[in-house]
């Protein structure tokens, strides 16, 4: 699906990621974990083709990301940014329908297939009743679910999500993460998501990429990566893992005095 070779990311002369050799396979669900400023959002924007690498390369399906025509790229990957600004009073359904633009092939108006995909995505995110609402009247959590609905309506094999659980209440955090896990498991889609909730990541993801923010990184299965000593090092705070039935629960430990 996607591969990085010797990828380097810099911000203001500071090396965030160095020598990242990373293989993302179809059907995998990756969580990207690290402290604030470790380069998680920068990495996701680079994978989306919205930012050039500072070294190395990114390939999708064996083809350099920079060589993909934009229209073709938009049919292969969808990107959920961490924040957005709604400057105009679009209706919710109009905002979701914009995600269908890569499939118009010169058509100006959306057809029945576009509307079907948009309404199905709204239903999946439990916001279909908001279809006629002005985006600017929505709560933060409602707006986030509409944004995820647009990502789903784009119907791409690869989903790149920067903090998808942001602004969501507990029930919708769990449902969104469960939905992403099912899309990867049952439909063969691939997801790469940034998040800070270790318990949500552990419940939904199959693999994890940890970023230190100084160039160091570590990648592997969730079972291998989401271990208390490794997480404590990468997050800069003691993490304890507690077994609760079949679940593993992560809690912050007490910092040394």
* Digit-coded pLDDT (tens) for 198-215: 999 999 999 999 999 999
Out of 127, 155, 183, pick the residue that ends a domain.
155
What integer pLDDT is reported at residue 109 of this predicted model?
A: 65
In a shared domain, residues 17 and 38: yes
What integer pLDDT is reported at residue 228 of this predicted model?
A: 95
In a shared domain, residues 251 and 192: yes
In a shared domain, residues 164 and 247: yes
In a shared domain, residues 163 and 139: no
In tens digits, what is the pLDDT along the chain, a chain of 257 residues? 899 999 999 998 899 999 999 999 999 999 999 999 999 999 999 999 999 999 999 999 999 998 999 999 999 999 999 988 776 788 999 999 999 999 887 666 677 889 999 999 999 999 999 999 999 999 999 999 999 999 999 999 999 999 999 999 999 999 999 999 999 999 999 999 999 999 999 999 999 999 999 999 999 999 999 999 999 999 999 999 998 888 889 999 987 65
In a shared domain, residues 47 and 170: yes
Phi, psi of 135 (to 5 degrees): -50, -35
Out of 139, 155, 171, pick the residue that ends a domain.
155
Domain holding 18, by residue range, is 1-76+157-257
Q: What pLDDT digit, counting tens, does each position of 178-187 carry?
A: 999 999 999 9
Terminal-residue alpha carbon distance, the chain: 46
What integer pLDDT is reported at residue 255 of this predicted model?
A: 76
The total of structural domains in the chain comes to 2
Q: What pLDDT digit, counting tens, does each position of 91-129 carry?
A: 999 999 999 999 887 666 677 889 999 999 999 999 999
């Amino acid at each position: 699906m996607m591969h990085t070779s010797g990828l380097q990311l810099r911000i203001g002369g500071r090396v965030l990621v160095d020598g990242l050799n990373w293989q993302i396979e179809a059907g995998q669900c990756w969580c990207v974990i690290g402290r604030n400023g470790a380069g998680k959002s920068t990495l996701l924007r680079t994978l989306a083709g919205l930012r050039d690498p500072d070294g190395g390369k990114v390939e999708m399906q064996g083809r350099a990301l920079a060589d993909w025509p934009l229209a073709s790229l938009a049919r292969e990957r969808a990107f959920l940014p961490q924040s957005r600004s709604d400057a105009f009073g679009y209706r919710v359904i109009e905002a979701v329908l914009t995600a269908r633009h890569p499939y118009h092939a010169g058509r100006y108006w959306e057809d029945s297939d576009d509307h079907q995909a948009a309404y199905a995505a709204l239903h999946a995110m439990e916001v279909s009743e908001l279809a006629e609402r002005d985006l600017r009247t929505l709560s933060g959590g409602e707006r986030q679910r509409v944004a995820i609905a647009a990502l789903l309506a784009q119907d791409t094999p690869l989903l790149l999500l920067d903090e998808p659980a942001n602004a969501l209440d507990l029930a919708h955090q769990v449902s969104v993460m469960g939905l992403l896990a099912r899309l990867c498991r049952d439909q063969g889609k691939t997801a790469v998501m940034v998040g800070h909730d270790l318990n949500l990541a552990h419940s939904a993801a199959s693999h994890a990429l940890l970023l230190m923010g100084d160039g160091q990184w570590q990648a592997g299965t969730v079972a291998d990566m989401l271990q208390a000593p490794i997480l404590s090092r990468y997050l800069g705070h003691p993490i304890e893992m507690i077994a609760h039935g079949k679940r593993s629960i992560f809690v912050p430990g007490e910092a040394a005095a």
